[in-house]
Amino acid sequence: MIDLDAAAIAARLRALDHRAPVTVAAITGSTNDDARAAAIAGAQHGAAFLADAQRRGRGRGGHAWHSPPGENLYLSIVLRPADIAPREIAPLTLAIGVAVARAIEARFPEGSRASIKWPNDVLVDGRKIAGVLVESALRAGAITAVVAGVGVNVKTLTFPADLADRATSLALLGARSLDRSALAAALIAGITRAADRFAAERLAPFLDDLRARDHLLGQPVTAIEARGIGAGVRDDGAYVIEVDGGARVPITSGAIEAP
C-alpha cells in the first residue's frame, strides 16, 4: 500500500482537530500551483494539496525542486491569515520553517536537532532536508490567500549529482518513521497552527526557537548586500550580517550563502 493516502492523512488530521480537506494527486505540475488555483476558486484555510510526484516542482529563486515519485513529501497548504498586509508577510516563511523543523525533529531519536538556514531551508547535520516556498495571491493590493509549499526529503537514498553533497533525507538519517501520511498530517496541522499564531502575534512567539535553530549564526556568510559573519535574526525577521569593522547590515530578502 502506498504510504501517501488522503484518507489516512484526513483521519490523522481529525484526531488533531483539523477538518479542512486533503487532496493527493499521483502526479502534478506543482502542488503550489494546485493550491493557488484552489485558493482562487475559494478553498478554505488549511486545505492541503499533495502529490506523489511533481513535474515542475519549484523552490525559491526559480530553482527546480527534485520531485521523484514514491519517495518524498510535496505539500502545499492554502492559508487565509486575517488582516495581514503584503509588506508583513515575508516572516511567515520563518514561522513555517519552525513548524517544519519541529515536525521533522520529532521523527529522530532524542537529541537530534533540525536547524534553519535563513530564510527557508531546514537542515539536519548541515544538509538540507526540507524547504519552504510561501507564495501570496493578491487582489487590489490585498492578500486574499497564501500558499505554504513544503518539500521534505523522506526516502531518497541517492540524490542527483548537483545535490549529493548538500541534501539529506529522513531515511539517510535513520528516522524512526518514514510514513509520509503521518508526517503530512503533522505538517499540515503544525503549519496551519503556526500561520494562525503568526496572524495573531506576528513573529514574536517563534523568535526564541528560530534563534536556537540559526544555522548561520557565527558563520562566514555572503549576501548581495554584505559579506561578513552571521549575527542572528532581528525581531522583524531580517537577518543581520556583521561586516568587517562592526557595522550590522540587515538582509530582508534574497538568499544568504554560507560555506
Q: Binding residues for ligand BTN, per CB under 6 A?
A: 30-32, 54, 57-60, 63, 65, 74-76, 120-121, 131-133, 149-151
Find the shortest distance in angstroms from Cβ 59 to ligand BTN: 2
The DSSP secondary-structure symbol of 124 reads E
Find the shortest distance in angstroms from Cβ 147 to ligand BTN: 8
Find the shortest distance in angstroms from Cβ 34 to ligand BTN: 8
Cα–Cα distance between 237 and 239 in angstroms, integer? Answer: 6
Residue nearest to ligand BTN (CB): 131
Find the shortest distance in angstroms from Cβ 159 to ligand BTN: 14
CB closer to ligand BTN, 120 vs 192: 120
Torsion sign (Cα): 90, 250, 128, 204:
negative
Find the shortest distance in angstroms from Cβ 173 to ligand BTN: 18
CB closer to ligand BTN, 185 vs 228: 185
CB closer to ligand BTN, 45 vs 58: 58
CB closer to ligand BTN, 70 vs 201: 70
Q: Cβ(236)–Cβ(91) under 8 Å?
A: yes
CA distances to 8, 34, 78, 164, 219 from 99, in Å:
21, 22, 16, 26, 24
**Closest residue by Cα to residue 238 from 90, 130, 132:** 90
Show the CA angle centred on residue 256, arms to residues 255 and 259, nearest 5°.
135
CB closer to ligand BTN, 62 vs 246: 62
Find the shortest distance in angstroms from Cβ 4 to ligand BTN: 13
Torsion sign (Cα): 25, 186, 81, 63:
negative
Long-range contacts of 31-37 (CB under 8 A, 24+ apart): 31/57, 31/74, 31/75, 31/76, 31/149, 32/58, 32/76, 32/133, 32/135, 32/147, 32/149, 34/76, 35/76, 35/77, 35/78, 35/147, 35/149, 36/76, 36/135, 36/137, 36/145, 36/147
CB closer to ligand BTN, 65 vs 118: 65
Q: Cβ(61)–Cβ(68) under 8 Å?
A: no
CB closer to ligand BTN, 21 vs 59: 59
Find the shortest distance in angstroms from Cβ 254 to ligand BTN: 12
